[in-house]
Structure 1
Amino acid sequence: MKREMQALMGMLLMAGVSGGGLAATLDQELAAIAADPAMPLASLSVLAVRGGKVQYQYQTGRRRIGVHAAPATADTLYRIASISKMMTTFGLMKLVEQHRLALDTDVGEYLGYPLRNPHFPEQAITLRMLLTHTSSLRDEAGYFWGAEVAIRDKLTGGEAGVWASNAGPGAYFTYTNLNWGVIGTIMEKVSGERFDRLMKRLLLEPMGLRGGYNPAEFSTAEIDDVATLYRKRTIDTERWNPDGPWIAQVDDYSARPPAAPANIGNYVIGSNGTLFSPTGGLRISASDMGKIMLMLIHHGQHQGRQILQAESVALMFSQQWKYDGGNGDTYRGLYQSWGLGSQRFGDGSLVEGGGFSAAGHLGEAYGLISTFVVDLERGNGMVSLIGGTGADPERNPGRYSAMTRSEERILTALYRRAILGQ
């Protein structure tokens, strides 16, 4: 009864949020966080879902800075970094539903060659292991290569830094981007489609979402909406200067449109799934991420269409790995529980004072800091996209989590105002 009364009070407090006092207060709080001189943000786009409906959206700052300056809007497309892994997993789960892939099959059957950790050659590697970062692959030798490179050579060539020697497949969690390069390669192999176009067919087009994994194929309007990612840090010397200018890091299309990857005309589909970065290369808006969040909350349905089976959604966000004190690298306590391509966050790890348990994914690259977290049971969730950081995030640590203090403040404000209605 207490929970139902709290929910009712929250609904009453948030009624008329689009023009009400709580929304205005939240606007001011988020604007102040973005303008904080200790950690200024180039842009910020957020969205909150309450009870299965979008409750609040807000943008501040600029998607482009300089001669061609333009503000961040609800349509601004951000390169969302590692949240792309979760989005890629949605596409993979569609292939599982179509019985073209199975989670516990030796992935060598899909690749066309054995995939083995040379230190543990008798142990098969499965999609479930790749999706839970327990495959024993590692990133030390890299996780992105051009169209002229065959990923097979990297995986089987004996190069140092590709495989763990201390733990075999399935035994130990280490967050590894290369897992998703292999996943993207497998998706291309079984579909016969290039990864960027496959994801448009499986996820983006059925939901009417803009953007994608390949800006070279964006429309003119989409290119104009892409946010350049910034830091107040030089690219060559990597020195931070919070009082200096914003420096473009990636996706700067103000002077020229995006180019296709080099040698793409000679690319052999299924030879190198890293090419369009299934690990971090999706450009999408907070608004469209909100549509995906609602699809998940509504058991895989979007506007009456079944995008993912309800069973796939439940499986993706169910616990597949949990830290037991010695079975993984938690990265300063950040990783405690994992689903299939999704992280599980316990109470107290996302908002100050606790009260919000969720699943989803985080991302950080080129100045961007991104968050997608959803409580599927209660139908509540938050999206936060920071388009650039003006100070070293390592000098702006969180007070109660492994996130930055800016992230903590943004998520806590969204949760208290837009979800709890306080």
Structure 2
Amino acid sequence: MNERRRSLLGMALLGTVQPLFAAAPSSAAASASPGRGTYGALDAELAAIVDDPSMQLASLSVLALRGGQPVYEQAFGRRWIGNSALPDQPATPDTLFRIASVSKMVTTLGLMRLVEAGRLALDADVSDYLGFTLRNPHFPDHAITLRSLLTHTSSLRDEGGYSWPLDTALRDVLVPGAPLYGNGAMWSPRAAPGAYFTYCNLGWGVIGTLMERAGGERFDLLMQRLLLQPLGLGAGYLPAALPPAALTRLATLYRKRSTDTEVWNAAGSWIAQVDDYHTRPPVAPAGLERYVPGTNATPFSPTGGLRISARDLGVIMRMLINGGVHAGTRLFGRATLEHMFARHWSLDAGGTGGTNGDSLGGFFNAWGLGNAQFPDRPGMALVEGGGFEAVGHLGDAYGLRSVFAADLARGDGMIVLAGGSAADPARQKGRYSALARYEERILTALYRHAIVGQRPAT
């Protein structure tokens, strides 16, 4: 979602796929930092979406790439909604957001650096890395692999929870008969590992934990070393460890919905949901100073806890478009990323809800290793009228909705971070996809104005 060296052994484990990435774009294709006059209509359209009385947004930060180069970035709304003591703080292109499940794709990028270095293998039994035997008790003869975790086919389920305090070892939760195993709700009784797709956050808690054992560091520090620092990003998975400059740019996520009774009131006040650190700083997880890496990485939230800006996500996107090269330095082998973003699972819609997976109402139709795939087909399109096939990830937590979507072959991409809505997005579903209608409108506006370069039909 990473050692510094390339490893021939690690590359051999990946196999071969067809070329996916465009050649590094030439400087002649650059159109960075366009003037507001160039995209004034897009500014106005996005501002209208943010201020739409039927679905007002607390904040919005967007970025678009065309031909591998940034052509548009803008922010709207407020990263913090003020009061009588403290004034409003506007969102800006370098405002950090808790990006929810887009974090999974970034975590996977860190993981793939460990694979390249030969520290991990995609098809090995993860028990070999965890230090305990991880098996679905209903299918004890089926090994669970990183590949099955990354494609949500491991047979793990979220019904038993997916985050525990640092002093709780994962082995005490996941192993039958262990103190916190309970009724075993974290295991599917019907689908063996590798047989059925069910989106599962718990899988990334396992991934983060075995990354710690392979890398020898706490997950958040490991991700800094493997990916975030080499890319020069002021981002992180642990708010208490963010640099002061980054913390001051962190958005509070809001909804006009209570956090206890979950009652929406679009005419009411914005209610902070997470990352409200204006009156008190973030606190490190309890027991951090005693934590043994490789025990339980879930408090660092490899599944959804990355705080990062749209601008810095754009740095990641450009590196992917360039086939693993950033600022002249190769961070990934091209074959590694081609394998990661190749299609490893597709929904077989032969039965109700699919015979080989649960699409969760149309959100999940195809999958790579730790990334969603967005085929340009009816019911799956990201933009109205189609024309944009992409890979990336979606996120949805605490009111935030996020989209990271890139056509890696053409070098086009869009990043959307919306910091909360005044009404329930489920009440305004998309017209042609599983997304909320406001997400469809934002993506279509970005695509038409910044990538295709044509105005939307009136």
Equivalent residue, structure 2, for 1:254? 278
1:377 correspondence with 2:447: no
Contact 1:91 1:199 in 2 (8 A): yes
Contact 2:319–2:326 under 8 Å retained in 1? yes
- Which residue of structure 1 aligns with residue 130 of structure 2? 111
Cα distance in structure 1, aligned partners of 2:399 and 2:93 = 20
Does 2:239 correspond to 1:223?
no
- Whether 1:35 aligns to 2:46 is no
Is the 8 Å Cα contact of residues 22 and 417 (structure 1) preserved in structure 2? no
1:303-382 equivalence runs, <5 A: 303-325=327-349, 326-348=355-377, 349-382=381-414
Tell me, in whole angstroms, the C-alpha distance in 1 between the residues paired with 2:326 and 2:139.
43
Let me know the Cα RMSD of the aligned residues.
1.4
Question: Which residue, out of 326, 347, 351, partners 1:302?
Answer: 326
Q: 1:79-228, aligned counterparts within 5 Å?
A: 79-156=98-175, 157=178, 158-159=181-182, 160-228=184-252
Query: Sequence identity, in percent?
Result: 60
Give the superposition deviation at 1:15.
Answer: 6.6
CA offset digits 1:188-208 (Å, max 9, x no partner): 011110000000001110010
Q: How does 1:271-310 map to 2 (within 5 A)?
A: 271-310=295-334
Contact 1:232 1:390 in 2 (8 A): yes
Offset at residue 222 of structure 1 (A): 1.1
- Residue 137 of structure 1 and its aligned partner are, at CA, apart by 0.1
Q: Which amino acid aligns with 1:23?
A: Y
Letter of the structure 2 residue corresponding to residue 350 of structure 1: L
Which shifted more, 239-248 or 303-312? 303-312
What residue is the counterpart of 2:7 in the other structure? none
Structure 2 residue identity aligned to 1:360: G
Give 5+ residue unaligned stretches, structure 1.
1-10
Provide Cα deviations, 1:258-277, integer angstroms capped at 9, x if missing partner: 11001212212110011200
In the aligned structure 1, how far is the partner of 2:453 from the partner of 2:225? 38
Shift of 1:155: 0.8
Counterpart of 2:61 in 1: which secondary structure? strand
Contact 2:158 2:202 in 1 (8 A): yes
Q: How many residues align structurally?
A: 411
Deviation at 1:17, TM superposition (A): 7.0
The AA in structure 1 aligned to 2:44 is Q
Normalising by structure 1, we get a TM-score of 0.95
TM-score by length of structure 2 reads 0.88
Deviation at 1:20, TM superposition (A): 5.5
Letter in 1 for 2:117: Q
AA aligned to 1:218 is L
Distance 1:257 1:79 in 2: 16
Aligned residue type for 2:205: G
Q: Secondary structure at the match of 1:225?
A: coil
* Change in 2 beyond 3 A, CA 1:305/1:137: same
1:234 to 237, 247, 258: 258
Tell me the CA shift for residue 223 of structure 1: 1.0
Deviation >4 Å, runs of 4+: 14-17
Q: Aligned partners of 1:240, 1:228: CA distance in 2, in Å?
A: 18
Distance of 1:74 and 1:333 partners within structure 2: 30
